[in-house]
Amino acid sequence: MSLDIEGIGMTSQRARDRLATALLEMGIQSEPILDVIRRIPRHFFIDEALASRAYENTALPIGFNQTISQPYIVAKMTEVLVKNKELENVLEIGTGCGYQTVVMAQFAKYVYTVERIDGLLIRARERFQKLNCNNIRTKHSDGNIGWPAHSPYDGIIVAAAPIGVPKALIEQLAVDGRLIIPVGEPGKQKLLLITRTENDYTEQYIDSVSFVPMLSGVNNSRKQ
Residues annotated as catalytic are 69
End-to-end CA distance of the chain: 30
Q: Where are the alpha helices (DSSP H) in 56-186?
A: 71-82, 99-105, 118-130, 167-171
Closest by CA to 177, choosing from 203, 204, 159, 153, is: 153
Phi, psi for 31 (deg, rounded to 5)? -65, -40
CA 180 to chain centre: 10
**Beta strands 153-158 and 136-140: pairing type?**
unpaired
3-state class (DSSP) for residue 72: helix
Q: Is residue 80 within 8 Å of residue 30, measured between CB atoms?
A: no
Residue type present at position 201: Y
